Amino acid sequence: MNIKEILSAKVSQAMVAAGLPEDTNPAISLSNRPQFGDYQANGVMGAAKKLKTNPRELATKVVENLNLDGIAEKIELAGPGFINIHLDKAWLAANLNQISSDEKIGVAQRATPQTVVVDYSAPNLAKEMHVGHLRSTIIGDAVVRALEFRGDKVIRQNHMGDWGTQFGMLLAHLSDKLAENEVAETALADLENFYREAKVRFDDEEGFADRARDYVVKLQSGDAQCGRLWQQFIDISISHSEEIYAKLNVSLTREDIMGESAYNDDLNNVIDELMAKEIAVEDQGAKVVFIDEMANKDGEPSVFIVQKSGGGFLYATTDLSACRYRSGKLNADRIIIFTDARQALHFKQVEIVARKAGFLPEQVGYQHCPFGMMMGDDGKPFKTRTGGTIKLAELLDEAVVRASDLIKEKNPEISEDDLATISQKVGIGAVKFADLSKNRTSDYIFNWKTMLSFEGATAPYLQYAYSRIQSIFTKAGSSHALGEIKVVEAQEKALALKLLQLEDVLDAVISECTPNLLCNYLYELASLYMSFYEACPILKEGISEEVKASRLALCQLIANTLKQGLDILGIEVMERM
């Protein structure tokens, strides 16, 4: 159900009937003030300019040919040629009733689903997951769920950093610990610490760096004992990430892991092909692609190293191989990658080279979606007080504790069990919503107080709106009947318009990978519900059964939409809080 599309088709028809070319854009948009109708068609002005004709006259002709019987109650011409459309309340009500009984609440399933490969989360296994991976993980997961809800086929790819020279020093250090009879799980309980210890030895201890390098060579040449050690390390580190995924209610599983190491065997082929096609050239012993398309202002091409002079491969080489795998083996129609903005240049280079090499056919979309940084209250990158990286697990635990304090304060009688479940959902929800609701590409300030507030665009506010609706049903009792929805009052009409926009909003989320649009939408929906609740009594004495049943049904639809919308964001609701 997409009102914009319906109106676009109708206005287009009228434009053609009025003599305009078939491809004229009707430019349908939501009106920002009720006196201008609910939707506007603003395309006449542009068309008139092209034809050098009077826009007002042209608009009159379009309106004469515009048949919105049963859809609009009024069509008005305004200003130089705006067409204001006031939708019919009965039509809105009929649509609401229809989507009420639809499992997907009116969001149509794609006629031709795309195969979308989404690369997100992708922590580096040598270390603990940090806040940058938090953003990648939750933004990626929200987009993935939106795509699936709309009916696309999604293939998750967790491109974990599980390979590279730093594993040499880590494995050397691990093997020493095991030799001292320590178990791997305890040794690797704190990855940050483990990494630090290994690094100190690498820098200071005689002979250790050589051993570390030796381990790298062994690992890359497929030495079995070294491979087992590596596997142990990787497994434990992955389970750290999995703990975080579980806390975050994120849909990634082990099956979605396709780490850097998985491409190892293909990297030689990638280089051979690039050389054979003369895309890469030898330069001071290294293999390099000079990218003229990205030349600087002095005309010097951008330099993209694909193999180091010692023969080692790079992050870049792996990403080229990944392009080929994803389009060739996974049959992707579209590839989406979420990382912080500092990698923008890298992915631009990867795309250009992969397209030239034929690893990424023209028709396959390649979209790097950068995001900004999470900042502390001081406006500087989010760090611990001593300047260390913040451990995600600890951050999430703190969120739950803070939510728990807040809820206990509001509801001192609450049972321990309820308190535990609710603070989990509220605390994690708050962190996620605060992040997802920001414009993806900007930096944002992480602030406990605002994210946990019950006012404003926050998870607690939305969760509260949901549980408030549930309490109406509890009050109404088990015998309450949901009736046919009637749209009568202004607040009901505003809700109707909002509820019927879900598909449109999801499409925008999906095309630009911007979950913040869904966050805004849900916040607006909850706010409209609050005004409706003030203005339109439901269970009050004197309200007719028919009105009561209609309003209860409207409440039900709002609750379903809030729940579904939050579910796409990976945020849970509760019956009471």
Measure the CA–CA gap between 28 and 80, rounded to whole angstroms.
16
Minimum CB–partner distance for residue 120 and ligand ARG (Å): 8
Measure the CA–CA gap between 29 and 40, rounded to whole angstroms.
5
Between 71 and 354, CB nearer to ligand ARG: 354
Residue 15 tokens, joined = 């434009």
Q: Give me the residues that bind ligand ARG (CB under 6 A), please.
A: 119, 122, 124, 159, 161, 319, 322, 337, 339
Between 43 and 161, CB nearer to ligand ARG: 161
Minimum CB–partner distance for residue 387 and ligand ARG (Å): 20
Quick one: which of 531, 549, 529, 530 has its CA closest to 539? 549
Residue 23 tokens, joined = 């491809």
Residue nearest to ligand ARG (CB): 122
Between 124 and 514, CB nearer to ligand ARG: 124
Cβ partners under 8 Å of residue 162, min gap 6: 125, 234, 237, 259, 260, 261
Measure the CA–CA gap between 18 and 6, rounded to whole angstroms.
19
Per DSSP, 52 falls in state T
Minimum CB–partner distance for residue 351 and ligand ARG (Å): 12
Give the dihedral sign, CA 103/106/112/116.
Answer: negative
Between 339 and 424, CB nearer to ligand ARG: 339
Minimum CB–partner distance for residue 133 and ligand ARG (Å): 6
Between 381 and 483, CB nearer to ligand ARG: 381
Quick one: which of 251, 284, 286, 260 has its CA closest to 271? 286
User: Where do runs of H (alpha helix) occur along 222-339?
Assistant: 224-248, 267-276, 315-324
Minimum CB–partner distance for residue 508 and ligand ARG (Å): 24
Between 323 and 554, CB nearer to ligand ARG: 323
Between 39 and 382, CB nearer to ligand ARG: 382
Measure the CA–CA gap between 140 and 549, rounded to whole angstroms.
39
207 Rama sector, left if φ>0, alpha if ψ -120 to 50, beta otherwise: left
Minimum CB–partner distance for residue 158 and ligand ARG (Å): 9
* Contact of 373 with 446, CB cutoff 8 Å: no
Give the dihedral sign, CA 145/112/26/513.
Answer: positive
Residue 14 tokens, joined = 């009228």
Minimum CB–partner distance for residue 347 and ligand ARG (Å): 8
Minimum CB–partner distance for residue 289 and ligand ARG (Å): 17
Minimum CB–partner distance for residue 352 and ligand ARG (Å): 15
Task: Give me the amino acid identity at 482.
Answer: L
Neighbours of 184 (CB within 10 A): 15
Measure the CA–CA gap between 64 and 59, rounded to whole angstroms.
9
Between 322 and 538, CB nearer to ligand ARG: 322
* Contact of 76 with 84, CB cutoff 8 Å: yes
Minimum CB–partner distance for residue 171 and ligand ARG (Å): 19
Between 3 and 322, CB nearer to ligand ARG: 322
Between 320 and 528, CB nearer to ligand ARG: 320
